[in-house]
């Protein structure tokens, strides 16, 4: 798989409803994972969406999540650009360049779901996530 550039929208507890709505608009297949499925069971946010992905019939990819616990939710600051794929060298190169002069929020490292993932805000205030398939 080549690298892909996808919009990633954060919600404040309504990600499930939003991604289901987008599926009714664009069609396609959807996957969702909750915070509870990744070790946060028994918490007030266990049923909230940690990650949702819609692959539309037209080939669009839309990703979404509820704002993770501990992260501020600022309406207007809810879109993140997501780079994903399996070309680790290419994606690590993008990461390094985007991080120059920016702020790393989550270091680019192996995550509990098996992929290498990181999140940062670049020097211009744009939010980015990089996910390298495991």
Kindly report, residue by residue over 115-127, the tens digit of the pLDDT: 999 999 888 787 8
CB-based contacts of 40-45 (< 8 A; 24+ apart in sequence) = 40/69, 43/69, 45/69
DSSP 3-state of 19? helix
Does residue 49 or residue 125 have the better pLDDT? 49
Output the average pLDDT for the chain. Answer: 90
The percentage of residues in the chain with a pLDDT greater than 70, rounded to a whole number, is: 99
Domain 4-132 belongs to what topology?
2,3-Dihydroxybiphenyl 1,2-Dioxygenase; domain 1 (3.10.180)
- In this prediction, residues 75-100 reach a mean pLDDT of 88
Bridge pairing between strands 127-132 and 79-85:
parallel
């Amino acid at each position: 798989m080549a690298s892909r550039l996808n919009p990633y929208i954060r919600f404040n507890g309504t990600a499930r409803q939003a991604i289901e709505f987008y599926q009714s608009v664009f069609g396609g297949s959807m996957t969702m994972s909750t915070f509870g499925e990744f070790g946060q069971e028994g918490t007030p946010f266990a049923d909230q969406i940690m990650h949702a992905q819609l692959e539309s019939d037209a080939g669009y990819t839309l990703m979404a999540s509820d704002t993770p616990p501990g992260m501020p939710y600022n309406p207007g600051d809810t879109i993140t650009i997501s780079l994903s794929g399996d070309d680790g060298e290419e994606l690590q190169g993008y990461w390094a360049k985007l991080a120059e002069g920016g702020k790393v929020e989550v270091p680019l490292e192996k995550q509990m779901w098996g992929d290498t993932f990181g999140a940062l805000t670049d020097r211009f205030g744009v939010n980015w996530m990089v996910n390298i398939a495991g």
